């Protein structure tokens, strides 16, 4: 219980927990659309692709302000999406292959830039290497405010275009036939996911970001068949995992926050898969044994 | 210094070759992201292996990683089989969880001792020459060369010995099953080889870049050839070339060697994507334009032939008239006429076009194979 009280009194912990919870809410909401559109791994590719964008933005402007880095990440993410689409459309390489190619080469280029920057400046001065694993423990109030602003804007867009995004997720051809520009909507949704990723890079880092998008959505999906409920649940699960991860990481020295958030999230996903009413695997198995027993009689 | 450079480049080349040997099958079987997941997920296995062996013991690392890879593949498939989770979501849940577990162990128990988190991502190939293999006090040279050399041989044997089975299971799993080869067995064998290769390459290039070495050269080769043997050979060559080129770039900019090597592979892919003779985007665009111009020239000469020796020939052969008659934009008409002149199909005198003998010959041949020439043909051209 000591952790919970500290949550409200300890300045650092409050920022870390608040930041992680914010990330959980934003990525949970946007992840729902990504997962329903079967584009969960696109988020993974975008997260990896953001790295060279961030590094180039830093190299060009020598500034570490979140807005500049966000722009870099957004441009790189947009370029990566475009490349993936073109590869799938014009060659015989599958979407799976295109994702793998773009993800790994963008990340490799990012690593080249990152090591170039770190070796040039005083070691680790740029702080960019923190984006690899996140730096949740070093979140300060300024970061949290920026994250809240960005995340709030993204969530506002989702609220405004809820009907359109819903249509896009469940029946894109129908949306197109109604006169919605599905390409524009698609690009918009991807851009919002990039915002979630930029928030996430500060907290859980490039490699683990995929789980922040996919995990809450998959967990929430098990509890309901309604999109609205799913989104709210995903936001709650994401926030819960964020706070839990932050609390666990301060309980002992040397426990990184990002991985703890992901592991908490994994526990939530597993519980949902096994115990969610109606869709839970445990109930499914019980039902089957009971039926088998009834049949045997 | 020179030996160190030689060892680094050779290590990179061996990683590239070992990975590319398997990569072709991963690309063809659409298992790129599964391979990516495996390369991330072996981390907790390696760490657990080191933990039990109380040090960076190679065999313990191999054993742990193979176990972690098996767990990953099994859990991903189990999740997919529940039908509660989409295929790509299953991958996206499992590998971050495994990787998070791995980084947790690294920060908690191994911080800056045998492993550090940055090396996990992009390896330590820079120190390949200094990590030597010592057996009974005898220095056998850099350990990475032995490990990766052995890995290359094993992967080569795997691909050569089971080439027929791999090929069949990749292109026609149904037929493979009907003929008595188990596609599932081949699938798991390939996954095992991928995880072993990922562990072997781990110290050199880290867990995340391995997948670049596996997939990117193979995808490059896929754009260059239709023959599986040739594809594997090209993939290995592209991989080795990227390793050598990447080292030079890394040396100049003083940046991560493994990252530069993988980036070079990406550049090779981009070049193939744009300029491959059969599948390149630029090549295809050029081919389309050439076909369009050839068709337009045929139209032009057939039009001129149709109106040769008739009363209004003068009018029909006017350059300005052609644009409206064939419904061509003026600029396009001028380009077609220019090309036809250079090909010596037509002659231009005082704004009038006349067919040459070659042009008349082409027009007769074209008219024999096409229906009434009209501008519609242009629209219908591929």
CB count within 10 Å of CB B247 equals: 22
Give the residue-averaged pLDDT of A243-256: 84
Residue B192 tokens read as 């095992």
Say yes or no for a CB contact (<8 Å) between B93 and A215. yes
Chain A nearest CA to B118, separation (Å)? 8
Say yes or no for a CB contact (<8 Å) between A266 and B100. yes
- Pick the more confident residue, B304 or B320: B304
pLDDT beyond 70 at B312: no
Tell whether the torsion through CA atoms of A257, A259, A264 and A269 is positive or negative. Answer: positive
- Cβ-defined contacts of B184-192 (< 8 Å, 24+): B186/B162, B187/B29, B188/B73, B189/B158, B189/B162, B190/B22, B190/B25, B190/B26, B190/B29, B190/B31, B190/B166, B191/B34, B191/B38, B191/B69, B191/B70, B191/B73, B192/B66, B192/B69, B192/B70
Query: A113 to chain B: which residues are within 8 Å by CB?
Result: 255
Domain boundaries, chain A: 2-296
Chain mean position to CA B265: 9
Listed in sequence order, the residues at least 6 apart from A164 whose beta carbon sits closer than 8 Å to its beta carbon are A175, A180, A185
Say yes or no for a CB contact (<8 Å) between A132 and B118. yes
Chain B nearest CA to A147, separation (Å)? 23
Query: B76 to chain A: which residues are within 8 Å by CB?
Result: none
pLDDT beyond 50 at A269: yes
**B267 & B307 share domain:** no
pLDDT beyond 80 at A267: yes
**B7 & B138 share domain:** yes
Q: Which of B248, B279, B310 is the last residue of a domain?
A: B279
Q: Using CA atoms, how far apart are residues A279 and A223, in angstroms rounded to an integer?
A: 7
Lowest mean pLDDT: which of B97-106, B160-169, B320-329?
B320-329
- Count Cα atoms within 13 angstroms, Cβ side, for A270: 11
Q: Which residue in A20, A39, A101 has the most chain B C-beta atoms within 10 A of its own C-beta, making it the best mutation to test that interface?
A: A101
Query: B99 to chain A: which residues are within 8 Å by CB?
Result: 207-208, 259, 262
Query: B273 to chain A: which residues are within 8 Å by CB?
Result: 87, 91
Query: A238 to chain B: which residues are within 8 Å by CB?
Result: none
pLDDT beyond 50 at A123: no
Give the residue-averaged pLDDT of B56-85: 86
pLDDT beyond 50 at A1: no
- Cβ-defined contacts of B332-340 (< 8 Å, 24+): B332/B296, B335/B293, B336/B293, B336/B296, B336/B297, B336/B300, B337/B300, B339/B293, B339/B297, B340/B297, B340/B300, B340/B301
Say yes or no for a CB contact (<8 Å) between B259 and A109. yes
**B302 & B238 share domain:** no
Query: A111 to chain B: which residues are within 8 Å by CB?
Result: 121-122, 209, 255-256, 258-259, 262
What's residue B311's pLDDT? 59
Q: Using CA atoms, how far apart are residues B132 and B129, in angstroms rounded to an integer?
A: 7
**B311 & B362 share domain:** yes
Say yes or no for a CB contact (<8 Å) between A87 and B273. yes
Q: Using CA atoms, how far apart are residues A99 and B32, in angstroms rounded to an integer?
A: 8
**B365 & B249 share domain:** no
What's residue B370's pLDDT? 57
pLDDT beyond 70 at A8: no
pLDDT beyond 90 at B344: no
Query: A250 to chain B: which residues are within 8 Å by CB?
Result: none
Chain B nearest CA to A5, separation (Å)? 25
Listed in sequence order, the residues at least 6 apart from A233 whose beta carbon sits closer than 8 Å to its beta carbon are A216, A219, A220, A223, A224
pLDDT tens sequence across A69-108: 888 988 998 899 889 988 998 899 999 999 999 999 999 9
Say yes or no for a CB contact (<8 Å) between B96 and A221. no
pLDDT interval class at B382 (50, 70, 90): very low
Q: Measured at the alpha carbon of residue B19, what is the angle toward residues B17 and B20, in degrees to the nearest 5?
A: 65
**B236 & B310 share domain:** no
What's residue A34's pLDDT? 92
pLDDT interval class at B380 (50, 70, 90): very low
Q: Which residue has the tokens 């649940």?
A: A233
pLDDT tens sequence across B163-190: 999 999 899 888 988 988 888 888 888 9
Give the residue-averaged pLDDT of B194-199: 88
Chain B nearest CA to A40, separation (Å)? 6
CATH number for B165 = 1.10.3470.10
Chain mean position to CA B343: 39
For strand B132-135 and strand B138-142, is the pairing parallel, antiparallel, or unpaired?
antiparallel
pLDDT beyond 80 at A283: yes
Residue A221 tokens read as 């999906």
- Pick the more confident residue, B88 or A33: A33
Query: B20 to chain A: which residues are within 8 Å by CB?
Result: none
Query: B30 to chain A: which residues are within 8 Å by CB?
Result: 94, 96-97
Of A38, A106, A112, Cβ closest to residue B256? A112
Say yes or no for a CB contact (<8 Å) between A105 and B265. yes
Lowest mean pLDDT: which of A7-11, A275-279, B17-21, B254-258?
A7-11
Domain that holds residue B344: 288-380
Say yes or no for a CB contact (<8 Å) between B32 and A100. yes
Say yes or no for a CB contact (<8 Å) between B259 and A43. no
**B44 & B79 share domain:** yes
Q: Which of B279, B305, B334 is the last residue of a domain?
A: B279
Say yes or no for a CB contact (<8 Å) between B40 and A207. yes
Of B107, B215, B273, Cβ closest to residue A104? B215
**B151 & B104 share domain:** yes
**B327 & B258 share domain:** no
**Cβ(B9)–Cβ(B51) below 8 Å:** no
Chain A nearest CA to B63, separation (Å)? 24
Q: How far apart are the first and last CA of chain B?
A: 57
Q: Using CA atoms, how far apart are residues B273 and B267, in angstroms rounded to an integer?
A: 10
pLDDT interval class at B114 (50, 70, 90): low
Chain mean position to CA B109: 38
pLDDT beyond 60 at B141: yes
Give the residue-averaged pLDDT of B342-354: 81
Q: Which of A130, A126, A146 is nearest to A138 (CA)?
A: A130
pLDDT tens sequence across A207-247: 889 999 999 999 999 999 999 999 999 999 999 999 999 88
Chain A nearest CA to B271, separation (Å)? 13
What's residue A290's pLDDT? 93
Query: A93 to chain B: which residues are within 8 Å by CB?
Result: 27, 219, 222-223
What's residue A118's pLDDT? 81
Of B103, B281, B284, Cβ closest to residue A259? B103
* DSSP assignments along B287-340, one per residue: HHHHHHHHHHHHHHHHHHHHTTTSTTHHHHTBHHHHHHHTT--HHHHHHHHHHH
What's residue B87's pLDDT? 79
Tell whether the torsion through CA atoms of B57, B60, B65 and B68 is positive or negative. Answer: negative
pLDDT beyond 50 at B317: yes
Q: What percent of chain B has pLDDT over 70?
A: 91
**Cβ(B21)–Cβ(B154) below 8 Å:** no
Of B208, B255, B279, Cβ closest to residue A115? B255
**Cβ(A7)–Cβ(A13) below 8 Å:** yes
Give the residue-averaged pLDDT of B352-380: 70
Query: B239 to chain A: which residues are within 8 Å by CB?
Result: none
**B176 & B89 share domain:** yes
pLDDT beyond 80 at B70: yes
- Pick the more confident residue, A177 or B204: A177
Q: Using CA atoms, how far apart are residues A107 and A54, in angstroms rounded to an integer?
A: 11
Averaged confidence pLDDT in chain B: 84
Alpha helices in chain A (DSSP H): 2-9, 11-36, 40-61, 66-90, 95-120, 130-133, 141-160, 162-170, 172-177, 182-203, 209-221, 227-251, 257-275, 281-296
**B294 & B220 share domain:** no
Listed in sequence order, the residues at least 6 apart from B300 whose beta carbon sits closer than 8 Å to its beta carbon are B322, B326, B336, B337, B340, B345, B346, B353
pLDDT beyond 50 at A22: yes
Averaged confidence pLDDT in chain A: 87
pLDDT beyond 60 at A204: yes
Give the residue-averaged pLDDT of B137-154: 84
pLDDT beyond 50 at A155: yes
Of A92, A211, A256, Cβ closest to residue B96? A211
Q: Which residue in A105, A252, A261 has the most chain B C-beta atoms within 10 A of its own C-beta, making it the best mutation to test that interface?
A: A105
Chain mean position to CA B205: 19
Say yes or no for a CB contact (<8 Å) between B96 and A92. no
What's residue A293's pLDDT? 92
Chain B nearest CA to A93, separation (Å)? 7
Q: Tell me the C-alpha to C-alpha distance, in Å, between residue A231 and each of A24, A276, B374.
A: 12, 16, 57
**Cβ(B260)–Cβ(B21) below 8 Å:** no
Domain tally, chain B: 2
Q: Which residue has the tokens 């990012």?
A: A110
What's residue A291's pLDDT? 93
Residue A210 tokens read as 């995929």
Say yes or no for a CB contact (<8 Å) between A207 and B33. no
Helix (H) or strand (E) holding B36: helix B32-53
The 3-state secondary structure of B82-99 reads CCCCCHHHHHHHHHHHHH
Say yes or no for a CB contact (<8 Å) between A41 and B91. yes
CATH number of the A2-296 domain: 1.10.3470.10
pLDDT beyond 80 at B11: yes
Q: Tell me the C-alpha to C-alpha distance, in Å, between residue B320 and each of A38, B46, B325, B341.
A: 55, 76, 9, 16
Give the residue-averaged pLDDT of B101-107: 86
Chain A nearest CA to B26, separation (Å)? 8
CATH number for B304 = 1.10.10.10
Listed in sequence order, the residues at least 6 apart from A230 whose beta carbon sits closer than 8 Å to its beta carbon are A32, A217, A220, A221, A223, A224
Say yes or no for a CB contact (<8 Å) between A105 and B212. yes
Chain A nearest CA to B339, separation (Å)? 29
Q: Which of B232, B261, B279 is the last residue of a domain?
A: B279
Chain B nearest CA to A41, separation (Å)? 6
Tell whether the torsion through CA atoms of A36, A41, A45 and A51 is positive or negative. Answer: positive
């Amino acid at each position: 219980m000591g952790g919970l009280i500290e949550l409200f009194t300890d300045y650092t912990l409050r920022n870390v927990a608040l930041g992680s919870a914010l990330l959980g809410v934003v990525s949970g909401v946007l992840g729902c659309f990504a997962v329903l559109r079967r584009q969960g791994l696109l988020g993974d590719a975008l997260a990896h692709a953001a790295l060279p964008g961030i590094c180039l933005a830093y190299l060009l402007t020598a500034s570490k302000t979140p807005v500049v880095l966000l722009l870099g990440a957004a441009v790189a993410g947009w370029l990566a999406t475009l490349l993936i689409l073109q590869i799938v459309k014009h060659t015989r390489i599958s979407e799976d292959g295109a994702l793998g190619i773009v993800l790994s080469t963008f990340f490799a280029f990012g690593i080249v830039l990152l090591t170039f920057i770190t070796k040039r400046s005083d070691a680790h001065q740029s702080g960019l290497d923190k984006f690899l694993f996140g730096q949740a423990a070093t979140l300060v109030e300024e970061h949290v405010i920026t994250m809240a602003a960005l995340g709030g804007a993204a969530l506002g867009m989702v609220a405004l275009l809820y009907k359109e995004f819903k249509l896009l997720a469940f029946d894109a051809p129908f949306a197109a036939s109604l006169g919605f520009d599905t390409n524009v909507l698609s690009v918009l949704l991807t851009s919002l996911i990039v915002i979630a990723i930029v928030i996430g890079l500060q907290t859980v880092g490039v490699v683990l970001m995929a789980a922040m998008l996919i995990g809450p959505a998959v967990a929430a999906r098990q509890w309901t068949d309604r999109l609205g409920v799913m989104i709210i649940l995903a936001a709650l699960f994401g926030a819960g995992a964020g706070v839990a991860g932050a609390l666990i990481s301060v309980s002992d020295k040397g426990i990184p926050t990002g991985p703890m958030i992901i592991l908490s999230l994994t526990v939530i996903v597993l519980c949902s898969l096994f115990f969610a009413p109606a869709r839970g695997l445990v109930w499914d198995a019980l039902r089957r044994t009971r039926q088998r027993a009834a049949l045997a009689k | 210094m020179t030996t160190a450079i030689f060892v680094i480049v050779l290590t990179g080349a061996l990683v590239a070759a070992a990975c590319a040997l398997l990569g072709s099958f991963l690309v063809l079987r659409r298992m790129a992201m599964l391979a990516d997941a495996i390369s991330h997920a072996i981390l907790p296995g390696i760490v657990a292996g080191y933990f039990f062996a109380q040090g960076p013991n190679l065999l313990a690392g191999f054993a742990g990683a193979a176990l972690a890879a098996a767990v990953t593949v099994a859990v991903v498939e189990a999740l997919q089989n529940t039908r509660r989770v989409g295929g790509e979501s299953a991958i996206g849940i499992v590998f971050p969880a495994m990787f998070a577990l791995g980084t947790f162990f690294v920060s908690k128990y191994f911080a800056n001792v045998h492993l550090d988190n940055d090396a996990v991502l992009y390896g330590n190939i820079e120190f390949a020459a200094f990590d030597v293999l010592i057996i009974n006090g005898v220095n056998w040279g850099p350990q990475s060369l032995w490990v990766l050399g052995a890995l290359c041989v094993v992967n080569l044997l795997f691909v050569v010995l089971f080439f027929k089975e791999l090929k069949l299971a990749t292109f026609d799993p149904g037929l493979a099953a009907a003929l008595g080869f188990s596609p599932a067995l081949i699938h798991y064998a390939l996954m095992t080889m991928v995880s072993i290769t990922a562990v072997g390459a781990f110290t050199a290039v880290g867990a995340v870049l391995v997948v670049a070495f596996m997939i990117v050269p193979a995808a490059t080769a896929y754009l260059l050839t239709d023959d599986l043997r040739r594809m594997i050979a090209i993939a290995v060559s592209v991989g080795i070339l990227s390793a050598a080129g990447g080292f030079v770039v890394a040396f100049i900019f003083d940046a991560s060697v493994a990252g530069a090597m993988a980036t070079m592979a990406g550049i090779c892919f981009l070049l193939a994507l744009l300029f491959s003779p059969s599948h390149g985007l630029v090549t295809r665009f050029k081919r389309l334009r050439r076909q369009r111009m050839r068709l337009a020239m045929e139209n032009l000469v057939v039009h001129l032939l149709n109106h040769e020796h008739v009363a209004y020939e003068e009018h029909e052969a006017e350059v300005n008239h052609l644009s409206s008659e064939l419904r061509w934009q003026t600029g396009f008409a001028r380009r077609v006429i220019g090309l036809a002149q250079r090909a010596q199909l037509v002659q231009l005198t005082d704004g009038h076009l006349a067919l040459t003998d070659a042009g008349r010959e082409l027009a007769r041949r074209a008219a024999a194979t096409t229906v009434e020439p009209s501008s519609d043909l242009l629209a219908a051209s591929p």
